[in-house]
Amino acid sequence: MYKISDIISTPVISLYEGEHIGIIYNIMFDYRQKKCNFACILNENDNIPRLIKFKDIFKIGNDCIFIKNLTCLDLETNCEKEMEENTNPINLKVYNLSCEFLGTSHDIIVDDNFRISQIVLNNGKIIERNDILNIGKSTIIVGSDVSIQKFKPVVKSIKIQNSPKKVMILSDFINSETNTQNKIITDFRFLIGRILSQDVIALNGEMIARKDSIVTKDIVNKASSYGKLVEIARYSKA
């Protein structure tokens, strides 16, 4: 079993090259399969986000994570489609089918195959895997007595103008102004609520956040603007 809060901020080392790659700053889940898919890595020297699939991780330990070699890595910019189909379920609001708010997801426990085993809420409640109905981009729904397929959208047929044929469509979320599909931007909400173990200071000497501060959205945004998200991830714990 692994706790996601223990994996985040852990250094990643390539066994074959003997090279320090960076630190884990985010974990992306396949929300349909309820399984870890990618670990996101940042290196303080180039600040370029990289990804590694969990199936390519050799070993996770207390002090570092080993990968086999550098060919296991990919640039985050090369995996935009995969990133859109994944999410980080930390700091999401949790509701049950009685429309009751249960709390906010605080940590995730995964098994040895990196499947979600339990969701730990901020109030100490535990949600078991079998009780999870759905994990979305912003909300987790709990309910074990019904299938998510019951709520699947109905595909409707429409007739195209000046054509005798009908086509089957399922509407996407479209931006009405640009007529383009909205893209999901990777965020760092999982850092919110963590506690800093030391000061984080910008290169110009400006204080971004002090030791023992609780990470807020404003701190994350400020750290991002100064290229200091690596430090926020490295020096913070849940």
Cα separation, 77 vs 83, whole angstroms: 9
Let me know if residue 172 belongs to a domain.
no
pLDDT exceeds 70 at position 215: yes
pTM over 0.75: no
Q: Residue 73 sits in which domain range?
A: 2-84
* Final residue in a domain of this structure, among 84, 110, 136: 84
**8 and 68 belong to one structural domain:** yes
The reported pLDDT for the residue numbered 121 is 95
Look up the CATH number of the domain holding residue 39: 2.30.30.240
Mean pLDDT of 210-231: 86
Q: What is the pLDDT of residue 177?
A: 39
Give per-residue pLDDT as tens, 115-164.
999 999 999 999 999 999 988 888 999 988 887 777 777 655 444 344 45
Choosing from 34, 52, 84, the residue where a domain stops is 84
Domain end, chosen from 66, 84, 102, is at 84
Quick one: 77 and 105 in the same domain? no
Is 235's pLDDT higher than 60? yes
Within 54-176, strands assigned E span 57-60, 65-67, 73-75, 93-96, 101-110, 116-121, 126-128, 132-135, 139-142, 156-159, 166-169
Number of domains comprising the chain = 3
* pLDDT value for 187: 56
